[in-house]
Amino acid sequence: MSTHKAGPDSTVLADCLEVPGLGFLPVNVFVLHCAQPVVVDTGVGLPDRDLLNTLGSVIDPADVRWIWLTHPDRDHTGGLFALLEAAPAARVVTTFLGAGIMSTEHPLPMDRVYFLNPGQSLDVGDRTLHAFRPPLFDNPATVGFYDDRSHTCFSSDCFGGPMPTADVATGSDVEAVRAEDLEAAQLLWASVDSPWVQVADPDRFRATVEPLRSMAPETILCTHLPPAFGLAPRFLDTIAAAPGMSPFVGPDQAALEQILAGFEPGGPA
């Protein structure tokens, strides 16, 4: 993991995963530096990742007061329990459903959970975080938020996209990617991560996009995209075109066997 600033109030702990055939998917953790510091998501749980060590270069984990889990998928919760132990005053912001899903793997300490639903808000001392459900999501417990002081939208998976290289995926600004390539990556990700959008009514879907236009965020911090500055109108236009697109179809067993054959002794180099 590497770190870089995304404005005066936010730090990105940048990571990525290579997805064969798609590219390199960013997997970001964010720190919101405020009166009651917030960590947004906790990354993957692979043994070679060390969230606490990287986080410790940005903030003392013991100072963390809130852990906002945008949803309970494993690429968002990998470092959760290590962080809970290192941050004894922190509470986990999630939903009733999110807590239930997480508890099927490891019991959550319910006295350290804070239920927050879309449409509600959280006071973190020097600002208010406004919870909302992003237009695109892959988990019904997804809740992003808008920081009304820094004008930053933390969008969870929405607006994500695979990047061409690991360096770009962990970079400090998504404008390193050409506009047309970025649009294609975001629509591809929509078809992978939110296949239900194929059957969404276009008008009803666009109605879920409009609240974000009203927010007019200056910065978008997405778990699966490098930081984006001043690009909200373009991003919203891109995802508004998602309804009706064909869902992604991954390799089948025959393709997998062909891939594996390339790694067998005597197989093609």
Whole-model pTM: value is 0.93
Tell me, what's the pLDDT at 247? 86
Q: Which residue in 119, 117, 111 sits closest to 92, CA to CA?
A: 111
Tell me, what's the pLDDT at 152? 97
Tell me, what's the pLDDT at 265? 61
Distance CA(64)–CA(36), nearest Å, equals: 7
Amino acid identity at 165 = T
Tell me, what's the pLDDT at 228? 98
Tell me, what's the pLDDT at 264? 62
Tell me, what's the pLDDT at 261? 86
Distance CA(243)–CA(231), nearest Å, equals: 21
Distance CA(157)–CA(142), nearest Å, equals: 9
Q: Where are the domains of the chain?
A: 2-261
DSSP 69: -
Structure tokens at 86: 């290192």
Which residues, 6+ apart, have CB-to-CB distance to 69 below 8 Å? 41, 42, 76, 77, 80, 92, 93, 94, 98, 102
The beta-strand segments (E) located in the chain are 2-5, 10-14, 16-19, 23-26, 29-32, 38-40, 66-68, 91-94, 113-115, 121-123, 128-132, 144-147, 152-154, 219-221, 228-229
Domain 2-261 grouped into CATH 3.60.15.10: yes
Distance CA(71)–CA(227), nearest Å, equals: 19
For the chain, the straight-line distance linking the first and the last C-alpha, in angstroms and rounded, comes to 31
**What are the residue ranges of helices labelled H in 34-178?**
51-56, 74-77, 80-86, 96-102, 166-169
pLDDT (tens place) for every residue of the chain, 269 residues total = 899 999 999 999 999 999 988 999 999 999 999 999 999 999 998 888 889 999 999 999 999 999 999 999 999 999 999 999 999 999 999 999 999 999 998 889 999 999 999 999 999 999 999 999 999 999 999 999 999 999 999 999 999 999 999 999 999 999 999 999 999 999 999 999 999 999 999 999 999 999 999 999 999 999 999 999 999 999 999 999 999 998 899 889 998 898 888 776 654 44
Distance CA(59)–CA(158), nearest Å, equals: 27
